[in-house]
Amino acid sequence: MSGASVDQYRIDWEDFLKSAPEVVTTLRTLTKVIADSGLERPLTELVKVRASQLNGCAFCLALHVEFARKAGVSQKALDLLATWHEAEIFSAREQAALAWTEALTLMAQQRPSAEVFAALCQQFSPQEVAFLTSSIGLINAWNRIAGGLRFAPAAVS
């Protein structure tokens, strides 16, 4: 591997789609189930952007920033998302979702705390907690696929 270009170890989105169409179909089905759950789309897009920031997935970050804009998330919110703890522009519901996102995304470093879960349950019903948790799990799966295979940031077909 020495002397080889990093780009030689990249699999692009189209090659992944051709190689594992069942995976893409299944993950897209889960995406639709979550979208149909009633959770606010701007909120779920904020969660996806934040997880993608934490995971360093350029492909998912570019995609979900664009989706967030289309869902009505303000540019100011996107600009301040990495510092949401200090930004004071996010609602209590958004803060609870973002704290849960960070707790789940970083759980290999530290288990999610009872305090973070309690704050989540103050803002979300049990059904919403289930779908939000599923949404966070799903974006983390996509981050590991797209980030691990180094998909170039581009539009998804």
> What pLDDT is recorded for position 10?
79
The model carries a pTM of 0.91
N-term to C-term CA, the chain? 32
> What pLDDT is recorded for position 155?
52
Q: Are 29 and 121 in contact (CB under 8 A)?
A: no
> What pLDDT is recorded for position 140?
98
List, run by run, the mean pLDDT of 10-residue segments along the chain (157 residues). 56 91 96 97 98 96 96 98 96 98 96 97 98 98 95 68
> What pLDDT is recorded for position 1?
39
> What pLDDT is recorded for position 7?
57
Can you say how many angstroms the Cα of residue 75 is from the centroid of all Cα atoms in its chain?
A: 17
> What pLDDT is recorded for position 35?
96
Q: Are 47 and 139 in contact (CB under 8 A)?
A: yes
> What pLDDT is recorded for position 32?
97
Q: Which CATH class is domain 40-148?
A: mainly alpha
Angle at 96 between CA 92 and CA 102, to 5 degrees: 140
Q: What is the share, in percent, of the chain residues with pLDDT greater than 70?
A: 92
> Residue 58 and residue 52: Cα distance in Å, rounded?
7
> Residue 130 and residue 92: Cα distance in Å, rounded?
18
> What pLDDT is recorded for position 152?
85
List the domain boundaries for the chain. 40-148
> What pLDDT is recorded for position 12?
86
